[in-house]
Amino acid sequence: MQQAGLADDDDEEIWVKEEDDEEEEDGYYMDPRSPAVWTPGGRAGGTSNRRRAREEKERTKMRERQRRAITGRILAGLRQHGNYRLRARADINEVIAALAREAGWVVLPDGTTFPSSSSFAAVAAQVVMSFHECGGNVGDDISIPLPHWVIEIGRSNPDIYFTDRAGRRNTECLSWGVDKERVLQGRTAVEVYFDFMRSFRVEFDEYFEDGIISEIEIGLGACGELRYPSYPAKHGWKYPGIGEFQCYDRYLQKSLRKAAEARGHTIWARGPDNAGHYNSEPNLTGFFCDGGDYDSYYGRFFLSWYSQALVDHADRVLMLARLAFEGTNIAVKVSGVHWWYKTASHAAELTAGFYNPCNRDGYAPIAAVLKKYDAALNFTCVELRTMDQHEVYPEAFADPEGLVWQVLNAAWDAGIQVASENALPCYDRDGFNKILENAKPLNDPDGRHLLGFTYLRLGKDLFERPNFFEFERFIKRMHGEAVLDLQV
């Protein structure tokens, strides 16, 4: 045996068994490429073949020495820097087993290897309870309607849907007026939502217990967002139209009458008749123009009732969601209606259910109900820049940056977590930088920041080289990595 030590690591000793260089002189030599030849005196023929075999043998021993030296250095590094418990003469199987265990896999003594349930903890899933149809909105390329049995009920009783002043029904989701009405085969809408959530929790129990499902986003309206479906493309709405109030089904009308009677003004049991149509501008309507009826006694009453119906719906569903998903994080998505934000009435927000004119904070009541059930707020449009919107649609008087600032601070002031997502496809550096600014505002004395960010949507355009380069750069910066500020 010949000992071969590592010059740069005296602790590591690699033992290589050396074969005796002397061949047995028995008169024969077998060359694998030619038949054996015997010559008198015990000498084998083919001297050149014998020499080549010895050279190949030396090369083989040299390669083995090099391989073992490299293995020794790898093992030394793993022990020194990786805290791997490897014996001095560990082989490659032990190295692989140690790496597998480090990754959370189970390695049995016979070498059988499989992932443990805990190894999936790093793969967290956010599940959305979608109580709305998918399709017909910006970015939708599929169509998933409401359940067939709900649609059948809607054919005989269309008032289960949100309805505009002209009587057009929006089948995207159920009206909040049926939250407590037994119109769904003997059940109320909130009972149906709760039954679905409870069934989901039971069916996927192991994913909750293993932490794979880390958060449940509760759908509370159109597109899964907490809002009225006030700007549906299917009814002809185009950006930047103000939208229309959606309170003309008989159940919400009954609620409005009760509120007006309680106030002592039964004449107020009606929707505004001067609020324009889906694509109106606020200054061309009597309700939303500066000094308009939105700020009259009746206007303040109606908008308070309209927005409170939204908050009450969130309260009812979140109470049951907290029961169904006890111990699991829940979240609510709120849409970013940023157009007409620079006007006094904030008309598009009012029709969507956010009572947020220039003299009132319409998002504080929403933050308060989320705080009540320890729910996070997921807000959209964090990638949009006000200057860009002004350049493309100057007539919209949009201010996405101002809206994001208001909503994020309302949530943080209420003490709830905030996450976000982009509203439109985003591939450029300016948009990504705006997301980063909102994710962790500079000079915030309380160090407040976003809980997380969801990128929408992973399409083929994202994987084009310039776009993917910017996306990769954005992800690195989001995780705190320093990157070169280079353009492609």
Residues designated catalytic: 225, 421
Chain mean position to CA 94: 38
Helix-strand-coil percent breakdown of the chain, rounded to 5? Answer: 45, 15, 45
Under DSSP, is residue 261 helix (H, G, I), strand (E, B) or coil?
Answer: helix
Contacts of 143 (CB under 8 A, 6+ apart): 133, 134, 135, 136
**Antiparallel, parallel or unpaired: β 2-6 and 9-16:** antiparallel
Helix (H) / strand (E) containing 303? helix 297-324
Handedness of CA 93, 99, 100, 106 (dihedral sign): positive
Backbone angles phi, psi at 60, to 5 degrees: -60, -45
**Nearest C-alpha neighbor of 192 from the set 201, 202, 204, 179:** 179
d(CA 188, CA 195): 11
Give the alpha-carbon dihedral of 62, 68, 71, 75, to 10 degrees: -150
Neighbours of 384 (CB within 10 A): 24
The encoded tokens of residue 360 equal: 């009132």
Cβ atoms of 54 and 61 closer than 8 Å: no
User: What separation, in Å, do the N-terminal and C-terminal C-alpha atoms of the chain show?
Assistant: 59
Q: What DSSP letter does each residue of 384-429 carry, written as one string?
A: --HHHHHHH-GGG---HHHHHHHHHHHHHHHT--EEEE-SS---SH
Placement of tokens 């979608």 in the chain: 130
d(CA 178, CA 252): 8
Placement of tokens 């505002």 in the chain: 441
**E-assigned strand segments in 18-79:** none
Helix (H) / strand (E) containing 263? helix 250-263
Cβ atoms of 296 and 285 closer than 8 Å: no
Helix (H) / strand (E) containing 10? strand 9-16
